[in-house]
Each structure stands twice: as C-alpha cells, then as structure tokens.
Chain A
Amino acid sequence: MNKKSFLVTVSGTALFLSAALPVYAIPVPEFGSCLNPQWSKTQENTLKDPNGARHGVIGVGSYLGTDTIYSSNGNVMQCLCSVDGNGYQTNWLKAANLSQDQIDELKTKGWKYVPYGQDWGLHDSAYLAKNIEYTCAACTPTPTPSVEVTPTVTPTPTVTTTPGPTATPTPAPKVGGASATNTLATTGNSLVIYLALLAGLASLVIGMVIKKFSK
C-alpha cells in the first residue's frame, strides 16, 4: 500500500465513522430508570381484573398490572409492571420544541413519533416515545369471580392510557445512594478479551498470508 492509498483508506474510514455520529444536538433529558425513579410521581394505577381495562404500552400491547407515571418539565416516564412480572418503561419526550430534523434523527434511534399526546393521556402536544424492558415483582391478578366464564364475544380490552402528568407531584426524601455519577464502572469480561485478541491474531495471520500470496 503506497502513501496515497493509505491516506485514501484512512480518510475513507474517518468519513465512514463521522457519518455514524449524530448530526443534530438533541436535548434528550435524563429520564432515569424505573428501577430507581428520580422524577416526581404523578400517578399510579393498578388494573388487575382480567375482564377489565388494561394499561397500554405504545407499540407493544396492553397489560394488566401497575402503571406508575413520573414527570419532569413536560416529559413523562411511564413504568408499567405487568401481572406476569414483565416491566415496560416508556420514555415520553415532549416534541413540541423539536425541529423536524431532530425528530427524524430521534426516529432513527428507535423513538416513535406520537403526534397527539392526548391519545395517551398526555398533554396536547406531540411526543416521541421509546420503550425499555425490565423485570419486576409481579402483582397478583384478581381471581376470576365466576366459575362459569363464557366469553361469547372476543373481549376487546379497553386500553386505558394513563401516562397523564396530572396529579400532584409527591417528591419523597431520598436517603443514601451514590448520586451525581455519570457512568457505571466496567468490570472486564475475560472471555470477550481473549476472544477479541485471538480473533485479532487470526485475522492478522490471514491478512499476512493473503498479502504474501497476492505478490
């Protein structure tokens, strides 16, 4: 490889990598995690009746369980713990002040555009939503009261969309913890390390062999 082709390779690689970087600075707040929410709780609702209404999770489905809503500056974090122990965290980012370019950029990162927040019990605004799964301690569903359950019509669950930041915020005093941190420490996986090194050496040998025989 001569100097010119080397420069072309390096600049091409740099161009490829730069294309992967975000183009627009998008003000996405730190939503946090349903494992330890830091925002103000605004609503909590438990639905356990199998024949009753269900909580909706955008793009996923509707579930019985406990839906807890946290909000901050118009953005909403919805934490749904279903009766089967599956947790769904939905981050609702208010899109009112975002440009179309920013919205498009976020959509490429897995955010779903919701033009009418009211449809999901939110403010009269557009939102972007993103789901994160977790597991949680399941609440027990209400037992079916009657033995003779004969659903004659396919039940159409009334999906209650409850991420409405309407209730009075109830911030509670927090104790302990390791706050004000930005990243979690890494711990190193030996298998991955050795695999990477072995694959690298193998690749190097293959590259050298091909180079030798291509002369």
Chain B
Amino acid sequence: MKLLSWFFILQALSLITVGLYQLYLREAPARLAFNDYKYEKSVLTESGKIPERVTIKDLDIDVPIYTAKVVDNKWPTTENGASYLITSPLPGTDGNSVMYAHNWKSLFGNLVNAKTGQEVQVVYPDKSVKTFVISYTSEVSPEESTILAPSTDKRITLYTCSGFLDSKRFVAVALLKS
C-alpha cells in the first residue's frame, strides 16, 4: 500500500510538472525558439504589404494575420490570430510563405481536419485575395523544419500543434491556385 501511494504521488508530480510546463509554453510562447534560425531579409520592407486575414471556409477558419519576426532566437506567437513569418515571402509570391497559430478552436484548431483540394484564402488590406489549394498534409515531428525551407513554387505552409502533449506538428501545404 505504501508503495502504491508513492506511485500515485510520483505520478502526480510528473503530471503536474508536464501540465505546468505546457502552461509555461502556452503563456510564454515567445520563449520558444527555432534553434539556429538564420534571419532573412524582411519582405515587408520591400513591399509594404501585410496580408490581413487567412480563411479556410471548409474548416471554419477565419482569423486575422499578425506578423512575427524571430528575434534573439525566439519564435513569437499571438493568441489573437495567425502568425505570419515575415522573413518568409509574401503569400502569393515565389517561395514558401509560413503561417502558424495555436491549435485552439478559435484559431487553427480545425486545421488538423484539412483535406487536399480545400481552398485557403489570404486577404490583403486592399481586399485583393490570393487563393491557394491544399496539396499536402502531414503530421511531422518538431525537428522536421525542412517544411519551412524555401521552395521553387508559390506556396503557403500552415501549421499548428497536434498529437500527445503537442508533441507533433500538423502541417498543411497549399499551392497558389492558377
């Protein structure tokens, strides 16, 4: 009985530690870094255009876009919308545009239900719209950062957390609709 009680107490400590750690990650996301991130030239300084919203009607996703820039190897996130990595190309231009958001229902929670063929729309302040079609989805490990690497096509990579204790990343890659 004594051993059993200690088993439960140790299990409790483990679970509480995991929970508090996850809470820390949630509440202090800016501390989460992409290790060895090499800063690239900001596209905003070139174009002055910032995409305003990202929508996936089939998944009831319609959130504002906030810019994110990695500073001191910290990867900022927002609780109010999707983060657009401004060191990746503007959506609709050549290359791989990267957006990510929490897996909350109000943000990218439904992204894990993404299917190929569904449309992703990025709205610009002048109300122009770039439409992308989801071409790939996958659940990858956090180390699989090549999904954020440059590409030769015009694509947008959306991702959020998935899996046990957010140990995976669900990724949807959409190519610009021709």
Q: Which residues of A contact B25 (CB under 8 A)?
A: 186, 188
**B98-A1 in contact (CB<8A):** no
9-residue interface stretch from B47-55, B119-127, B156-164: B156-164
| Residue of B29, B97, B104, B150 with most partner-chain A CB within 10 A | B150
Which among B6, B29, B96, B97 is the interface contact of A185 at CB below 8 angstroms? B29
Residues of A within 8 A of B164 (CB): 192
Q: Which of A152-202 contact B (CB under 8 A)?
A: 172-190, 192-197, 199-202
User: How far, in whole Å, are A180 and B166 apart by their CA atoms in the complex?
Assistant: 22
Provide the B128-143 mask, 1 if CB < 8 A to any CB of A, else 0: 0000011111101011
Set B12, B137, B166: member contacting A204, Cβ < 8 A = B12
Known interface pairs A187-B29, A201-B12, A204-B9; A174-B150 also in contact (CB < 8 Å): yes
Assess whether A135 is in contact with B138, with CB atoms less than 8 Å apart.
Answer: yes
- Number of chain A residues close to chain B: CB under 8 A: 57
Category for how many chain B residues contact A: 35 or more
A211 and B98 contact, CB distance less than 8 A = no
Since A178-B34, A207-B7 are in contact, a sample of 15 more A-B pairs with Cβ atoms closer than 8 Å, ordered by chain A residue number, is A32-B149, A137-B133, A175-B96, A177-B95, A179-B149, A183-B33, A184-B148, A189-B161, A196-B18, A200-B14, A202-B12, A203-B12, A203-B15, A207-B8, A214-B5
Q: Tell me the A residues contacting B by CB distance below 8 Å.
A: 1, 9, 13, 30, 32-36, 38, 85, 87, 132-138, 172-190, 192-197, 199-204, 206-208, 210-211, 213-214
